[in-house]
Structure 1
Amino acid sequence: MNKNEKRKEIKQKQSILSPEYCHFADKAICNRILSLHEFQTADVIFCYISMENEIDTRPIIENAWMMKKKVAVPKCTKKGCMELYQIHSYEDLEAGKYGIPEPKSKCLPVPPNTIDFAVIPCLSCDLEGWRLGHGGGYYDRYLEHTDFITAVVCRHQLLSESICHETHDKRMNIVVTEEIMRFL
């Protein structure tokens, strides 16, 4: 099955997940991320701003702020490319490309070499750390020349047995679902 066929399959599975399951899974996944030594010891975290159907990252971001960590979030700069900017509150966000909340222009850029830990979204992933995104390549391009620890978050019911991957795809260091946490 190619990536586009897999995306269709996962989106179909996603559409029938109950709100109760999603709420339970998201809470458990966030708690697992917050318990990670890699999160606890990080000074600068990179985390996506969740959209509808994605795992709700607000508890991760809010806990990072409470712990006085720097929070860097993505901003699309051109097709297929993104950069990270520090936010201090949700007031630092505005609607960006594709309706995704992005940092306002007043926010300061965060260089990749300063990031300690990242929470990465997916439509699905496998237990080997390969992720299936939406197909824009934003995360793969950004992560290509980085070496910070990455944790991909996925609801267990959307986990795949195997994700086909290409040479430009970057394998994640940690896979986190509500049921498992796997270090690679």
Structure 2
Amino acid sequence: MHMLREEKNKLRDIMRERRNSLTPEEKRIKSEQICKNTFAIIKPGETVMGFVSKEAEVNTRPFLEMLLAAGNPLVVPIIVKEDHSLRLSYLKDLNHLVPSTFNVPEPIGHEIPVPDGAVDVVILPMLAFDKYGSRLGYGSGYYDRFLDKNPGIKTVAMAFACQEAEKVPTEEFDVPVDYVITENGIAFRKK
């Protein structure tokens, strides 16, 4: 168990370095393409829980704008550190986002509660993925816990192609994804 955790942390460091080696212009261009590729697999009317990117992550803002413009209900997570959970809020305006827990933009002061079972698709952040649909997150398990409590939701991870690993080390609580989308298109689709 301890060795697996070390292996995951080492892979996180490698992938952060890969992701950080992209120039701002490369990130912008690749992020825009990833957003278009991801939007292409969203059905009209699906309620989408999207993450609001920070730092060197794929810039999800264009994707979130596409969802709002298309009329898809948009939900964003709010991190609850006390019990390592996610509280959900509808988001109608990206200008309502302010940096909050872990510097993640959240709609603090503009929360619109989301009823259980309302989300059709979850867009996931990640540091690494592999050809088997395994995803390596940041290590806190917020999304894995959410998905464990909400089975059956379509899961889509957005990443730069350079974040692909030969094999992501996994544990029993790690939830594989249904899709991995990169700037090159669909890198993984669950059969």
TM-score normalised by L of structure 2: 0.89
Gaps of 5+ in 2: 1-5
Listed as ranges, the gaps of 5+ residues in structure 1 are none
Q: Is the 8 A contact 1:42 1:116 kept in 2?
A: no
Instruction: State percent identity of aligned pairs.
Output: 26
Q: 1:1-184 counterparts in 2 under 5 A?
A: 2-36=7-41, 39-79=42-82, 80-146=84-150, 147-181=152-186, 182-184=188-190
On the 8 A contact 2:77/2:87 being kept in 1, the answer is yes
Question: Aligned-pair RMSD on alpha carbons?
Answer: 1.5
* Contact preservation (8 Å) 2:19, 2:160: no
Deviation at 1:112, TM superposition (A): 4.4
CA contact (8 A) 1:124 1:133 kept: yes
Structure 1 position 11, deviation (Å): 1.5
> Once the two structures are superposed, what CA deviation does each residue of 1:124-164 show, in whole Å capped at 9, x if it has no partner?
11121111111111111111122111111110011111101
Kindly tell me the number of residue pairs found equivalent between the two proteins: 182
State the 4+ residue runs in structure 1 displaced beyond 3 angstroms.
none
Once the two structures are superposed, what CA deviation does each residue of 1:11-60 show, in whole Å capped at 9, x if it has no partner? 12222222222122111111111111xx1234311000011101111111
CA contact under 8 A between 2:44 and 2:72: conserved in structure 1? Answer: no
2:23 counterpart letter in structure 1: S
Change in 2 beyond 3 A, CA 1:125/1:108:
same
SS in 2 for 1:55: coil
Task: Point out the more displaced range, 54-63 or 20-29.
Answer: 20-29
Structure 1: which amino acid aligns with 2:73? K
TM-score by length of 1: 0.92
Q: Give 3-state SS (helix, strand or coil) of 1:73's partner.
A: strand
- Indicate if the aligned counterparts of 2:135 and 2:176 stay in contact, CA closer than 8 A: yes
